[in-house]
Structure 1
Amino acid sequence: MRIALVSYEYPPDTADGGVATYIYQLARLLLGRGHGVEVFTAGSENAGTEIEPGGVQVHRVVVEKRGDFGPLIAEVFLKRHQIQPFDVMEGVDRFAHCRQILQLIPTLPFVLKLHTPGIVLKEINTMCDYRVPGLSLSERLAIMLKKARRKWNPYWRWMPTFIRMNILTDSERLHALEADEIIALCGDMADLIARLWLIDRSKIQVIPLPFSASPDLLAIQPNSESQTITYIGRLEYRKGVLDLARAIPLVLKQIPSARFRLVGRAMKSPDQEKDMQQYLKDWLEPYGDAVEFAGAVPPSKVPELLKQADVCVVPSIWENFPYVVLESMAAARAVVATNTGGMKDIINSPEVGSLVPPQSPEDLAQAVVALLEHPAERARIGAAARARILATYDGTKIMPAIELSYQKAIERRRQLGPR
């Protein structure tokens, strides 16, 4: 098959999260299985086409705002499709970037991957904690009222959606309805989207992400004694960094030698005058050298960061199917994550990692301390985690299901005709 992958995120220019890592790995897995693969993405400076090592052809457009990516990449896509047509296109949910392409090529089979739609982000934001430092009294009261409405309204599971967003005009939902196949990465995401978007759950398949562990990750030994707890991800509310900030003093109280390293790009904070990194720095200032902020790093630096860690934490309020969990486990690191979304699918047993409730700094701290205090158990969990990732999420296990979803999309569009 000739397969087009359309994603704003892609290394190195727009490698801002797990989507970029997924598209990068998927392109190479598909190429290795004999398919023709081309990636359509955004660049920070240089537009144009290049063939990357390994043979993946990448087309980039320069955009000032993420929302502008769809119309610009559609023009590039159409020209390329006219020269050498694609059999199927895969795109992501956020910002509905493939809608313009489908308008230009209404017969193109389309597979939509559900990563984190905007409506899910809105759901997560309603979980905001009124105890967060820096919020005004009015902001605290607003959050408390939201929580009260959710608690006492028997229809809270659907009412807030219609209040906050008209799903009938939600471009991402309309984008999904145009897809020939809708793929969720975990069961929780499929259930959530079916409820929020009022889509028949049977129309959403669940296929986890394929993962190819790099030699650098697999070379890391399970045994480590750095006393370092590492967080890798954007510094933003929904990733649970405020809960991590609350957990840090609890850990240091029991293990003063522990050190925390937070890696990732800073997003907005509760204080409009500060980004999240500065906000957390000020909050954690009393703990000085025990907390390091490394900022954003390229994907190539992740193995070294994991090598230097004893424990990796993923304290997200809600998460779909985070690549950082797969990477950390493949590096034989003990992971403490929240029992939400795909994380409870990946960490399916205490034998391969620890799960704690979201927004529970006490449970997060307790799990981290337990791992730091028992290095032999920590190494055993790390080794078992690596074995699980290799046995369950390797490309040879997942790729046949992905290829089948492409074939189903092609057949469905052939039967239905133009959109």
Structure 2
Amino acid sequence: MHICFVCREYPPSKRGGGIATYIRGVAQGLCALKQKVTVVCASDDTRHDSQYKDGDVAVIRLSGGDFVIKGVEENTLLQKFRMFYRFKSYRKKLRNAVLALKDVDIIEVAEYGAEGLYFENIGIPVVTRLHTPMLMDHYSFSKMSFNRYTWKFWWQGLQEFKCIKQSKYITSCSTSLKEWTMKELGIDAERIKVIYNPIRIEQPPPSASQQKPTSPNGRHEILYVGTICDWKGVGDLCEAVSLLTNEGVNIRLTMIGKQGVYAELLKEKYQGQTWFNMQGFTPHEEVMQMYAQADVVCFPSWWENFPMVCLEAMSQGAIVLGSNSGGMSEIINDGEDGFLVTPKDAKRIVNRIKEILFIPTSEREKISSAALLKIKIDFTMDIILRQMITYYQRCINDYKINESQ
């Protein structure tokens, strides 16, 4: 089977994010299972094309992308409007690049960016992968309204909705995202197949002796990994740790992730507090070690699709406190292999952290082992990729039947 992934980002790229991580891991995993994989994506420098091999994965980077990356090309006022004047031409270039491959059996394209807009009726089945639409409002969990803050990406977001609605084959990274799509876009449940994001465990979990034991007399380490923004619940977490400190708990919160305006606001508010530790870039290998050494790894997001950081932390035997809003409730069984908390409430986070900090060592070891087992049984590459291959083959067969009628 020749599988073609069409995406906005693929490592190495200055635009790389969760989708890039997902596609690279899946592409390499499928090649290991003897599938042929090609990735068609954009060059960071939109003036140049390139083709090369990333292991067994064929990568085609196209020029003409509808974005500009600071420091890669000279930034001009006109370039800021590329999302409009290059939108159609770049998506047609994607379509032509896939058709030029001649032997593609199936295409997977993310809904994000609406890059599958011109893939209908080209003689190849197309799977639209739901990651999180641009116009999902993480504050109200509905579609964003049009205003002076959203106008820049409003039109492109509507094109994403168009791609989803016209797609016959749709996969979602979580049930939570599937249900949102059904509700907000009126998509029938049977059109959306939930296939979870897989994780490749490249770094083996530490032994029990390498993990940090809980000590009521020492400093408790709380770890957050991810973008530092309001809807990720980082502000709520900071407030919770501040309250715990005021109660006399010896604690430190370390935050690792992409920083922006909101991170600067948190620094201004809390910088100098003994518990506050916001780090810059940290190598992935080091982050994986920090998961296991923390007393609690906390992700109190207001909503999440299916975060890789939660899978990573559990794969290292970490004690995870996640949000019960969204995909983490599909990963964690509360009190068995991790813990869940209702977001947007610092006092609830305080109570759950205190509960976790003072559970017996034997109970921590039991939960840690259960977290490791959950990842191995349900979310490893081998398990998820076989589900994907089965689904792809089903789509190919269904498409052929419909084409012959």
SS in 2 for 1:86: coil
User: Alignment partner for residue 227 of structure 1, among 220, 226, 232?
Assistant: 220
**Per-residue Cα deviation, 1:212-265 (whole angstroms, up to 9, x for no partner):** 212x24246473147321111111222111211221212223454311111111
**Per-residue Cα deviation, 1:301-328 (whole angstroms, up to 9, x for no partner):** 4323324422211111011111111000
After superposition, the Cα gap between the structure-2 partners of 1:190 and 1:12, relative to the gap in structure 1 and judged at 3 Å, is same
Answering whether residue 251 of structure 2 is matched by residue 251 of structure 1, we say: no
Answering whether residue 135 of structure 2 is matched by residue 119 of structure 1, we say: yes
Give the Å deviation of 1:16.
Answer: 4.4
After superposition, the Cα gap between the structure-2 partners of 1:361 and 1:217, relative to the gap in structure 1 and judged at 3 Å, is farther
Residue equivalent to 2:59: 58
Q: Which runs of 5+ in 2 are unaligned?
A: 70-82, 214-218
Equivalent residue letter for 1:384: A
Whole-angstrom distance in 1 between the partners of 2:98 and 2:175:
35
SS in 2 for 1:99: coil
Residue equivalent to 1:280: 266
Whole-angstrom distance in 2 between the partners of 1:402 and 1:266:
34
Give the Å deviation of 1:299.
Answer: 4.0
Residue equivalent to 1:137: none
Contact 1:14 1:20 in 2 (8 A): no
User: Alignment partner for residue 200 of structure 1, among 182, 188, 194?
Assistant: 188
Whole-angstrom distance in 2 between the partners of 1:228 and 1:42:
40
After superposition, the Cα gap between the structure-2 partners of 1:181 and 1:375, relative to the gap in structure 1 and judged at 3 Å, is same
**RMSD after superposition:** 3.0
Among the aligned pairs, what percent are the same residue? 26
**Per-residue Cα deviation, 1:341-372 (whole angstroms, up to 9, x for no partner):** 22111002411001010111111122222222
Aligned length in residues: 373
Answering whether residue 310 of structure 2 is matched by residue 325 of structure 1, we say: yes
- Could you list the structure 1 runs, at least 4 aligned residues long, displaced by more than 6 angstroms after superposition: 160-167
After superposition, the Cα gap between the structure-2 partners of 1:367 and 1:350, relative to the gap in structure 1 and judged at 3 Å, is same
Whole-angstrom distance in 1 between the partners of 2:4 and 2:396:
13
Equivalent residue letter for 1:345: E
Residue equivalent to 1:341: 326
Contact 1:352 1:388 in 2 (8 A): yes
Contact 2:241 2:251 in 1 (8 A): no
Residue equivalent to 1:82: 100
Of structures 1 and 2, the one scoring higher in RCO (CA 8 A, sep 6+) is: 1
Contact 1:186 1:206 in 2 (8 A): yes
**Per-residue Cα deviation, 1:65-105 (whole angstroms, up to 9, x for no partner):** 494688547526633542443111111111212224x16x7
Contact 2:317 2:372 in 1 (8 A): yes
After superposition, the Cα gap between the structure-2 partners of 1:220 and 1:362, relative to the gap in structure 1 and judged at 3 Å, is farther
SS in 2 for 1:170: helix
User: Alignment partner for residue 261 of structure 1, among 237, 254, 257?
Assistant: 254
User: Alignment partner for residue 175 of structure 2, among 184, 187, 190?
Assistant: 187
After superposition, the Cα gap between the structure-2 partners of 1:11 and 1:380, relative to the gap in structure 1 and judged at 3 Å, is farther
Answering whether residue 299 of structure 2 is matched by residue 310 of structure 1, we say: no
Q: Which has the higher helix share?
A: 1
Contact 2:301 2:323 in 1 (8 A): yes
Residue equivalent to 2:123: 107
Comparing 186-195 with 405-414, which one deviates more in the overlay? 405-414
SS in 2 for 1:94: coil
Residue equivalent to 1:143: none
Residue equivalent to 1:29: 29
Equivalent residue letter for 1:218: P
